[in-house]
Each structure stands twice: as C-alpha cells, then as structure tokens.
Amino acid sequence: MKRLLTILLCTMILFSNGVIGSSETVVAADSTEISQLVLSENEVSMETGDSNSLTATAIYVDGKSENVTIKTTWSSSNSDIASVYAGTIRGIKEGKATIVATYLNKTVPVQVDVSKKIRTLTKNKQTVTIRTGEVHSEQVNVSAVYEDGSTEDVTTKAMWTVEDQSVATVFDGKIVGQSSGSTTVTAKFEKHSVSIPVNVEIIKRLEPSKSNVSLLLRSGKNTETIELQAIFPDGSKEEVSSKAVWSSDNESVADAINGTIKAYGVGEATISAKYGTKTATIKVDVDSAMVIELDQQDVFMLLKDSPKKLKLTASFINGEEEDITDRAEWTTSNKAVATVNKGTIVAHSSGEAIITAKYGDNEVKAAVDVEVPRRLEVDQDYVSLSTKDSDETSVELIAYYANDTHQSVTEKATWTSSNENVATVYKGKIKALKSGEATITAKYADKTVTVGVDVDYSQQIVVDVKSLNLQVGGSQQLVLKAIYEGREEIITDKAEWSSSAEAIAEVRRGNVTGLKDGSATISAKYGNRTTTIPVSVGVVKKITIKKADAAIDKLVMQKDNSVQLTLNAEYMDGSTKDVTDLANWSPESSTIAQVDANGMVKAKGSGKVDISASFGNKTVKIPVEVDITASLTSNTKNVFMSVGEKVQIKLNPDAADSNYITDQAEWSSSSSKVAEVTKGEIRAYSNGKTTITARYGGKSVSILVEVDVLQGLVANTRLVRLKTLGDVKDIQTKVTLMATLTGGRTVDMTDQAEWKVSSYKVAEANKGTIKAIGYGKTTVTARYGGKSVTVYVEVDQLKYLKTNHVQLNMKVGETKQVNATATYLDGIDRDVTKPALWTTPKVTIADVKDGIIKATGVGRTVITVSYGDKKTQVIVNVTK
C-alpha cells in the first residue's frame, strides 16, 4: 500500500511539472546512470524578498537528457540568508550562501549573493554640459536607495555606458567630452539604471564673418577666408573654423576647407559649416555678373568681308567691369550661315543666324545678317521682245540690304523661265525664241522678283465696257481691241467668246443677250490673252425702304401709331421699281412693332425691333423705336418748393412730342412724405428733400426737389442795447428773424423760432421781443430748422455817472439832496438818483438814502453812488 501511494505521488509530481507531454527527451525508467547534472545558473545575485528559479537537467550516459528539477534534492548552506525549494531560491536577508543540487549522486553548487532591496537609483546631476578635453570633464555620482531607507554610493560599483563614444566617454561616472554633439550616459547597478543627457560643446549660435561672398576666377580674387564664431550659452566665443565640418552643395563652383572658400567655376554655391548641432551657410557667387553686354546687337556682313569680332563685357556686383569674350560660351543658331569662336564671327553663306554668348547664368544674343536682302529690284519688270531681234536683252538685279547699302547680284542670283519655248534666261540675259509670253524669275537668298516677257505678242486685249447690265430680252454689242506696242487692232470677230451661264446670258461675236434674271461672266480669248466682263440680267443692285417717298434708316414711332412703308428696287441697269407688294416683310408679329405684307407698320409697345424687307436676293433692315428716346432731359434739374405748392416738369421740353413723353413716362419719388409726382406734376407735402425720377424709352432723368429746406437764419441786428429806465422803446426791442430757404426765397420766422436767453437776470426774450431786466450783458439765441443765430444784449451800459455835488460841507443834523445822472452809450441822460445804490462807510458821520445825505457826526467821509457799471463819489465834511 505504501509503495502504491509513492507511485501515485511521483505520477502527480510529473504531471504538475509538465514532464508528461513536454518537448524534452523522456528517459526510460531504467536509464539510471547520468554523466552530468547541469544547472541553468551557477551564480545568483538577488535582493532580499526576490526569488529566482533554477532548472536542473540530467545528461545520461547514453546522451539523452531530462529535466530533473523536481527530482533533484536542493539544499542551502544558510537558510537564514537564502532558502531553496524545488529549484526556486528566495532571498531572506543580506549575505552569501551556497545552494547545492543533488541527483543520482551528482552534486552541483550555486553561489548566492543576497543584497539589500534597492528601491531606486539616484544621480547627483540631471544633465551634463561640458566642453571637450580632460580638463573640462565632469563627475557624476550614483547612489542606491534601499527599501530600509539607507543609501549607498555605488558610483564605482555601477556599470557605465555611453550611447555615442565619439561625443563623450565615461569611466566610473567621470564624463569626458570628445567632440561637439549630444549623447546619453547610463549607469546600471543590479536591476536598476539611470540615464544622464550629455551635451558637449553645445553652442547657442554659429556666426560666419560673412554670409555672402562674391569671387572671381582671376588669380588673387578666387579665394576668401571666413571666420566662424561659436557662441556658447554662457556668452563665451570661440573661433572654430578649423574644427567645423565644411561642405558645398556645388563643388564644381566653390568649396571650402577650414574656412577658406575657393572658386572653381562660374555659378552659385552654398557653403555649409557645421559645428555641433548648429550649421551656418554662406552664399557664394563666382563671376556673378549683374549684366553682360555685347558691343554689337546687330551684325551685317558680306561674304567678302573678313571675320568680325564681338566684345563681351561683364559688369560684376562689386562694380568692376571685365572683358570676358574669351571665357564665355559662344554658339550659333545656323552654322551654314555663320560660325563663331570666342566672339569672332565668320560668314559662310547668305542668310540669318543668332549668335549667343553665355556666361554663368546670363546670356545675350546678337543677330547676324549675311547678305540677306531686304528687297530685290530689277531695272525693268516687263520686256517685249521679237524673234526678229538676234540680240539678247539684259536685266540687272539689285539687292538692298539692312545697312542701307545695295549691290548688283545679277550674276549671283538664280534665274528661271516659266516657258523656255518662248524665252530663255541666263544671268539676267533674256533671249526670245518664239511667239508667246513667259515669266522670268530671279531668286537671291530668300527673295524673288519676276519680269514679264512678251514675244511677238499683244500687250493686252480690252473690251470697250467694264460691265454689262441688261434686262431680260435686252442685248448689247461689245467691241474687243488688241493693244500692241505702238498700235491697236479691233479683233471682235477674231476672238473666242464664251459665257459662264448661257441660260442667263449668251454671246455671239461679242453680242450679249439677256435670257433670264441672274449673273454671268462673258470671256473673250485671243491668243494667250483673255479678258472678262461681268453681266447682270434683271439683277437688283439694291433695295431701299422709304417713308413718304423718302429713304429712311430708322423709324421712330409712338405706341398705337401706324406708318406705311414702301420698298424701292434699283436694278443693275439703273432702272427702279416699287416692289412693296412683292417683297417679304417681317416681323409679322411682335410685342413692339409688326408689319403686314403691304409694308404697314403698327407700334404695339415700348422697345426696339428691326423691320426687314427682302426682294431679289437682297434684304434691308431698319430699326423701329417705339416710345424710345435718344436722350431724356427735363426743363429743370432742381425744384425749390413750399408745402402745398405744385410744379409741373416737362421732359424733352424742346421736342415736338414733349407732352406725350411727359405723360407716358414712369414717374417716382424717393420720399413720398416730402413730395409726390403724377405725369410730371410735383406736389409738396412736408419739409425735406426728395428725388423725382422719370423713366422713358430706356432712359432716365432725376430732379432734386427741396421743400422749405432752410439754408440759413439772419437777424436784423446782432447787438441790442437796452435800459431799465425810460420809455418802452428804451426798455425793450423787437428783433426780426429771416430764414433763407433753398432757391434764395426768404421767410419771416420770428414767431416760429425758439428764443433763449443765456442770463435771465439781464434780459428776457419771447418771439423776437427782448426786454431788459437788470444791468449786465447776455446773449439771446434764436433756433429754427436746425439753424441758429445769436444776438448780443447789453443792459444799462453807461458812458458816465455824475452827481450834482462832488463835495459837501455840512453841520451836524443838516440834510442835503444830491442828484445822480447816468449818461448812456447812446448819449441819453437819465436821472438815476433813486434807482442808484448809495453807500457810506461811516454812518456815524453821514448817512444816505436815495441821494438824501444827513450829517450825523463830526468828521469826514465819502459817499459812493453806483449805477450800472459806473461809480462816483461825494466827499462830505461835517462840523458842529
């Protein structure tokens, strides 16, 4: 029973560890001898609390293998530091222990190092920015932070690596810059790692001493040295032209080494200098000409001329000029005519060519003309010869060139004859062979000229009329003459006559007869000469539309009116006929105007339409305008009215149909509140402006209407002087307010205006009446229709204030009367004794009221009297 339980337990262990069905070799139970026991690891480093699983593999003597991790006996030299079960090691506390695996008498030890649990790694610097060289190196320290809160400097224990060793190197945390750039340094300890970004020679800016360079290929001007300044974040600078990486996008034009740019060819290039993460560019142009010019744009040459030399000058951006004739690229558009080499042109044959000079990206062209005639002329364009003459007749050919010169090219030209049986030609010499005519052609270059040649032949044949116009059945005899040099001959009966349309006109020995309406051409041939004349039989020359027997080119009508038109036909022979009833008239139906078969036109509605009549293959049209006017005007452009007023407007007042147009026009008002219009009659309703518009026959006209529109206000006076004493006319006055309306009309608006006083203590105003209230100055403003006017008012403005006594000698208890007189600016005097203000500074000496002075005590005092804007004094001496 115990054995059975053991077998079952082993079977369960095998299934739980995947032995059954695994990919590893399954060893038979009887294979009990192994040659080796192999573990997956021989050394294990771990932190407290971590676990690590080992695998044990048995290698049997027959070469087979088996996973015996479960079967192996596992033990630990110190279970307090590291424990093991079925190959799984668990770290207990910091220290070292040995794990031993035993299977079938084979034993394998595993060294286990258990360290404290690391929570994280820290670094004392987050980023490093350094310059190159050992002297600028920088130390980075790494610390391990354990789970128990303790820390340890593991800088020398950690494994240090760098992403790009060409930028920086690292050893035990010491970072040394090697070249400009950026990289990352990583420190790894146990299972943890930290990374530090490293920047070496990182610059803020990279500035070349020049951003644009112009070079010439000439020695001494083909190089230029550029200084390259690296500006670091701390503001320091360093010349790095020798350290930077220089490149060119067009090495055939220019390249650079350590900041020295050298030109190699004409053109443009961009030089790049890279240092660290920054790149600076310099634009380089080599032999860059602002403009290149030829000394000649048009060249004329004769074949006999010696070669011609062109000069090409370059103007560079630095202001220099240089002869670049030999350095430019020269081409010709036509080598058969002219070739070119370094500006030297050689003519080869007559013709035209374009010479192109190219230098860099610029090119210029010159037109070359090699003996190209602008025209050819012969000294005679017609020659009459006779076979009786044994001598040849010479014709000279002259060529005229573009440079206004000319020369004889008779022997250079190519001569041909259109009929060598009649005449031959050689180098301008013509020889007659037999009767007839020929055309001699001379060709030189691309130009030709011809010479007419008659041999024993009439110069021409002519008919006595140029054309014939016949009616059907009519006839006319023609006379044909042959013209010879110095004589004429009638050849009517000798000629061959024909008609192009014998059904219309026939001809017998020059006698032409008309057969039916139409046109034909009569031909007469005599020898090699032919002449023709046109013949019209019953052909209409033209047709004309008339009104009352007068030709018209336009018909102007009013709606519902009718007009009778007639059509007159004029034939080629000059005869005329009324063909009104025979013509085709159109349109028969139209909303504007229509015409019947007898030419009667009736106007239907406003607009334009064409009336046409057709007869004898001729058609004529005339435009018909119904209620259309060429222009639309009014008898006035501006109307000024008062409310309730009516004004009649006339359209086209000088036209006979003015009343009709005025009634028929479409009238409108932009503001019916101000005024309305009916058939030109405007009615004003309220103050304001409006625009009256009339439309008729596609035209329109506008009239500006202003109803009682105020232009300005005017008062009959701008200054009023009043008194608080005196008659009514002195105390108050009436100001009249006149309003000027559009058109110059004036209206009294005194009562309608609004009157306001700026100081009611001085005066008051009502409907233009201004009344004095008290001394002072004020303004009265009148407002009406958005306009205003101001009147200045002065009240009790004095010129003088006098008393009848200026000094009094009185006894105590005595009383005396003193009178005050005011003289106004207008010269009028008024007694102001009572209204004036009397004051005394010492009532113990003298008292005063309304000019009555009473002595009250011994002494001297001054009585002051005030009225308006004036004051005066009375000296009072009182004794016992």
502-530 pLDDT, tens digit each: 999 999 999 999 888 888 999 998 766 88
State how far the Cα of 711 lies from the Cα of 689, in Å rounded to an integer: 13
Per-residue confidence at 478, pLDDT binned at 50, 70, 90?
Answer: very high
b/e 802-833 (16+ beta carbons within 10 angstroms → b): ebeeeebebeeeeebebbbbbebeeeeebebb
At 367-383, the pLDDT tens digits run 998 888 888 898 888 88
Distance from C-alpha of 15 to C-alpha of 11, rounded to nearest angstrom: 6
| pLDDT bucket at 359, cuts 50 / 70 / 90 | confident
Q: Residue 655 above 80 pLDDT?
A: no
Distances (CA, A) of 707 to 232, 641, 770: 83, 5, 31
> What was the pLDDT predicted at 527?
66
- Asked whether the predicted pLDDT for residue 28 surpasses 60, the reply is no
Residue 402 pLDDT class (50, 70, 90 cuts): confident
Spatial separation of the C-alpha atoms in residues 411 and 634, rounded to whole Å: 81
Average pLDDT in the chain: 86
- Here the tokens at position 345 are 């042109």
Q: Which residues pair with 498 in a beta bridge?
A: 523
587 vs 18 pLDDT, higher one: 587
Name the residue with tokens 């004094």: 873
Strands (E), 492-631: 496-499, 505-508, 511-514, 518-526, 529-537, 540-547, 550-551, 555-557, 562-564, 566-571, 576-578, 584-586, 593-595, 600-603, 607-615, 618-626
- Give the pLDDT score at 314: 83
**Is domain 289-370 classified as CATH 2.60.40.1080?**
yes
Q: What is the pLDDT of residue 25?
A: 38
Residue pointed to by tokens 């005229």: 400
Q: Model confidence over 121-146: pLDDT tens digits?
A: 999 999 998 888 888 899 999 999 98
Q: For the residues of 284-352, what is the DSSP string, one character each?
A: EEES-EEEEEES-SEEEE-TTSPPEE--EEEEETTS-EEE-TTTSEEEES-TTTEEEETTEEEE-SSEE
Task: Write down the pLDDT at residue 20.
Answer: 34
> Which residue, chain included where needed, has tokens 């036109």?
601
pLDDT of residue 163: 93
Q: Which letter does DSSP use for residue 132 in this model?
A: B
The CATH superfamily of 710-795 is Immunoglobulins (2.60.40.10)
Identify the CATH number of the domain defined by range 375-455. 2.60.40.1080
User: 332 pLDDT exceeds 90?
Assistant: yes
The domain locations on the chain are 27-115, 118-200, 205-286, 289-370, 375-455, 460-537, 540-626, 638-707, 710-795, 798-879
Q: Which residues contact 222 (CB under 8 A, 6 or more apart)?
A: 215, 216, 262, 263, 286
Report pLDDT digits (tens) over 252-289.
Answer: 889 999 989 988 888 889 999 988 778 999 998 887 65
Q: Give the separation between CA 606 and CA 559, rounded to whole angstroms.
A: 7
Quick check: do 27-115 and 638-707 share a fold?
Answer: yes
Q: Which CATH architecture has domain 27-115?
A: Sandwich (2.60)
Q: What are phi and psi of 167, to 5 degrees?
A: -95, -45
- Judged against a pLDDT cut of 90, whether residue 116 lies above it is answered with no
The CATH fold of domain 540-626: Immunoglobulin-like (2.60.40)
Instruction: Tell me the C-alpha distance between 86 and 104, whole Å.
Output: 16
Where are the strands (E) in 680-796, listed by range? 681-684, 688-696, 699-707, 710-715, 719-722, 732-734, 737-741, 746-748, 754-757, 763-766, 769-772, 776-784, 787-795
Nearest to 639 by CA among 701, 713, 712: 701
CB-facing half-sphere around the CA of 641: CA atoms within 13 A: 28
* Assigned fold of 460-537: Immunoglobulin-like (2.60.40)
Q: Flag the least confident range among 14-28, 73-87, 418-432.
A: 14-28
Please report the pLDDT score of residue 388 as a whole number.
66
pLDDT at position 460:
81
Q: Is the pLDDT of residue 807 over 90?
A: yes
Q: Is pLDDT above 60 for 10?
A: no
Angle made by CA atoms 399, 400, 404, in degrees to the nearest 5: 150
pLDDT of residue 711: 81
DSSP 3-state percent helix, strand, coil across the chain (nearest 5)? 5, 55, 40
Least confident interval from 5-9, 492-496, 813-817, 851-855: 5-9
Write down the pLDDT at residue 458.
Answer: 67
Six-digit token pair at 356?
């192109």
Higher-confidence residue of 403 and 486: namely 403
Question: Considering the entire predicted model, what is its pTM?
Answer: 0.31
CATH of 798-879, one of 2.60.120.260, 3.40.50.720, 2.40.110.10, 2.60.40.1080: 2.60.40.1080
Extract the tokens encoding 92. 């207990």
CA angle 815, 819, 823 (to 5 degrees): 165
Class of the CATH-defined domain 205-286: mainly beta
Confidence of residue 456 (pLDDT cuts 50, 70, 90): low
| pLDDT level of residue 747 (50, 70, 90 thresholds) | confident
What's the CATH class of domain 118-200?
A: mainly beta
pLDDT for 15 beyond 70: no
pLDDT of residue 220: 67
Question: What distance in Å separates the CA atoms of residue 418 and residue 441, rounded to the nearest whole number?
Answer: 8
Percent of the chain with pLDDT over 90: 44
pLDDT confidence of residue 47: 86
Cα–Cα distance measured from residue 462 to residue 468, given in angstroms and rounded to the nearest whole number: 14
- Tell me the mean pLDDT in the region 357-366: 85
> Of 189, 166, 186, which is closest to residue 176 (Cα–Cα)?
166
CATH of the domain spanning 638-707 = 2.60.40.1080
pLDDT per position as a tens digit, 811-867: 999 999 999 999 998 889 999 999 999 999 999 999 999 999 999 999 999 999 999
Is a pLDDT exceeding 90 seen at residue 547?
Answer: no
Q: Which tens digits make up the pLDDT trace of 88-111?
A: 999 999 899 999 999 998 999 999
What H or E segment, with its residue span, contains residue 2? helix 2-16
Distance between CA atoms of residues 796 and 721, nearest Å: 8
pLDDT at 663: 86
Asked if the peptide bond before residue 587 counts as cis, ω within 30 degrees of 0, the response is yes
